[in-house]
Structure 1
């Protein structure tokens, strides 16, 4: 049966289909205005030698050909978890065998499962590719800050995860534009070294770009981390994968990475919110309608108006295209979204806005309407997880007054919410095998500031108006 399953998987990507997918990927990049290597982007410098070994710049072009030696068609693959409402977790996994049930057995002791949850499944076809059976199972209610052991589909290995705490401190790992390169591997290894309760990713996950098997290889690559801590993601431009008159956008992303949008009152998987340990987090969609007449704008306005800063003193936003960016790459691409939505964020006293897209790191002061404002949000760009397109080295000079620190290197961020008033942000640059902390800052929540006390009445009117 395993041989037949392998044959089925191989038949999903005939050589002619691969050529077609590669051509579509190239055409999409050109049509979307993606920067060309040598213009806004340059490739990263060669990694330094260590112990006589020089790391490859990229992983294999065909990483999906390397399946786990012990896997069978019934074994769960690409396991990852995400929050699914208060005290619940969504477990996502894929099987080649369509007869595997969408169930997860779980408990607080290894090998002993005291609860079982049944979920739903989906699949999709994309040109010559057919996905496996994609299972989404919500489990719970779960205890906070507790290790759970679980098995997917009643078959295969045991996994484990730890639920986030219900109160401070809360540790968040942050990475954008991840991809599947050797730099990605370094970034993931560095994140594994840090104690974190959850990972946040503001778009551009797999860089599959129409080659659907790269979604499979990405799922396998991140499984060791994504199966142990919840990954909360939003879409980037590389998740679009739309083909004019033939395929609508985000089909693969929506099928594989289902987020708790329904639980937050959203009607789209491309934007949603969640709460955890005193933090209200909002994931926005840079590539779906966001003007004042859009569903996303109406949903955001309503979501912000419902926030209770006594229960969640911290409000953070994640989106893909940055609003404040002094790099020449993707300059101005977030301006129209900022013009529409920044007044809402300012009215709600959002603390931090984290973006990706630009393949470099930058941290700004609190800003609003293009200038420094003590009641604005701290903006951070962190689209440097390890993508295959290289780094964006060219910055605009002189540096804007709102820009505090900027550097074109691969790396990841860590946000530790210490208590209701203070959070510690650090950015860690990849330096061969070791992460190097290059930037850090203490951030004070606006919940306890004069911004809310002095301006709450005036700006709440913006949120409450029809």
Structure 2
């Protein structure tokens, strides 16, 4: 017998993850959020919106109340869930790591006890710490919320492809991570628009099953959306993975959290997820670059100025001009709002950024551009200036990590000539950079308990190709101009 639920109800997902300490929003906001939840599920039941031709329905989700999983309602009222048990306020929480320049790693952790020092002890044998590094700390207030003490400690120099054991704050549990290799092969996990739902948990479980050296996330992390305790629960949710491999992220629209005339944007994101922007010559945590094992990766900011008179544009131009394709034959860019998108969702939102910056990427022969924002998956052929171009970048949209807003189900038809594969399902990607010339990209749909490889392609690097000597050579003048 056909299900009485609409497709929207079947795919609506809830926030997931143990709530951490935090101050609750005022009661009127709680009631409004509850009302919106009920109204949105009623609207979903009435909509019956058509799905795209390439849509594959994901497996049925857990039981819901009016299309909204029980956990979603409980996350609005955090006092209805038990706080995570902690042996001590001085124990590290929400531990995650990121690259911090050549052969260095940044360890970030939070403590409720403000007297805990910002130190990390580490070594290559469990329980034996031969080195200690001291870092910095910060905290912030957001309306009625006060964060814990957020520690950032840079450790190193570190050996490549080596397991290190470490302890945060001078005591507490031991963690471990593995440094990336010095050269190929390199395996990168890629996920966007993650959130905190049961689909998020499936995505993280599937990423854990794949052997990866690093995770790349092109924006929209916690979906806290002003409710700061959800930043804490997100940190706890991702800690098992983010404490073992570097997570390199850039911001999305859900990180902004600005309040007109009262709060500037990205306060929580900048405090919690510090990236190596200073090491790359950037003046903003919202855009930066890094190098790892033959790959030069650039993380751009879709929600800060990017026109030709902006600091980000000037920085990008200078960063691309310095890239040495003999040392890093692969050039990859990540940003949040996609430039090539055949989904009805967020159509055209990346156009102005593309108009300003795509000529720079084309001039530098960027190999791959990865975006999020659209809650579906799509892979394009090499494109430039809205048309097929063998010297352009391969564009991939992967905003399907598991966020609470559900999937973007409707695609524009007919499919554009540049669009190769598109599907509205939750999942993650893997990029295996095999050598200086070949990389293997795969996208894995979340299907019940298993990640199912649904799209894969071999990509050739443009380094050393005829593109550098051919028609795109004229664009190099853009990078060299004052």
Q: TM-score, normalised by structure 2?
A: 0.87
Contact 1:5 1:73 in 2 (8 A): no
> How far does residue 34 in structure 1 lie from its aligned partner after superposition?
17
| Distance change in 2, residues 1:25/1:307 (3 Å) | farther
| Distance change in 2, residues 1:456/1:381 (3 Å) | closer
Contact 2:13 2:403 in 1 (8 A): no
2:404 aligned counterpart, secondary structure: coil
Higher mean alpha-carbon deviation, 19-28 vs 319-328, is at 19-28
Task: Extract unaligned runs of 5+ from structure 2.
Answer: 1-7, 17-25
2:242 matched to 1:230?
no
2:352 matched to 1:339?
no
Higher mean alpha-carbon deviation, 265-274 vs 55-64, is at 55-64
> How far does residue 344 in structure 1 lie from its aligned partner after superposition?
0.2
CA distance in 1, matches of 2:57, 2:258: 27
Contact 2:13 2:404 in 1 (8 A): no
CA RMSD of aligned residues (A): 6.3
CA distance in 2, matches of 1:314, 1:397: 33
Aligned to 1:3: 10
Q: What pairs with 1:134-173 in structure 2 (closer than 5 Å)? A: 134-173=150-189
Contact 1:48 1:432 in 2 (8 A): no
> How far does residue 458 in structure 1 lie from its aligned partner after superposition?
2.2
> How far does residue 160 in structure 1 lie from its aligned partner after superposition?
0.2
Contact 1:40 1:392 in 2 (8 A): no
> How far does residue 456 in structure 1 lie from its aligned partner after superposition?
6.4
Q: Deviations over 1:384-425 (max 9, x none)?
A: 000000000100000000000000000000000000000000
Higher mean alpha-carbon deviation, 450-459 vs 329-338, is at 450-459
Contact 1:422 1:443 in 2 (8 A): yes
> How far does residue 457 in structure 1 lie from its aligned partner after superposition?
4.6
CA distance in 1, matches of 2:12, 2:467: 60
| Distance change in 2, residues 1:240/1:5 (3 Å) | closer
| Distance change in 2, residues 1:391/1:3 (3 Å) | closer
> How far does residue 460 in structure 1 lie from its aligned partner after superposition?
1.9
| Distance change in 2, residues 1:458/1:430 (3 Å) | same
CA distance in 1, matches of 2:35, 2:450: 37
Contact 1:63 1:214 in 2 (8 A): no
Contact 2:14 2:71 in 1 (8 A): no
CA distance in 2, matches of 1:161, 1:79: 11
Higher mean alpha-carbon deviation, 39-48 vs 75-84, is at 39-48
Contact 1:58 1:181 in 2 (8 A): no
Contact 2:190 2:429 in 1 (8 A): yes
> How far does residue 68 in structure 1 lie from its aligned partner after superposition?
3.3
2:328 aligned counterpart, secondary structure: coil
Contact 2:13 2:197 in 1 (8 A): no
Contact 2:13 2:69 in 1 (8 A): no
> How far does residue 64 in structure 1 lie from its aligned partner after superposition?
8.3
| Distance change in 2, residues 1:455/1:52 (3 Å) | closer
> How far does residue 432 in structure 1 lie from its aligned partner after superposition?
1.0
Higher mean alpha-carbon deviation, 211-220 vs 60-69, is at 60-69
> How far does residue 155 in structure 1 lie from its aligned partner after superposition?
1.7
| Distance change in 2, residues 1:159/1:252 (3 Å) | same
> How far does residue 33 in structure 1 lie from its aligned partner after superposition?
21
> How far does residue 15 in structure 1 lie from its aligned partner after superposition?
4.5
Q: Deviations over 1:210-263 (max 9, x none)?
A: 000000000000000000000000000000000000000000000000000000
> How far does residue 46 in structure 1 lie from its aligned partner after superposition?
2.7
| Distance change in 2, residues 1:124/1:33 (3 Å) | farther
> How far does residue 54 in structure 1 lie from its aligned partner after superposition?
11
> How far does residue 72 in structure 1 lie from its aligned partner after superposition?
1.5
Contact 1:350 1:377 in 2 (8 A): yes
1:151 aligned counterpart, secondary structure: strand
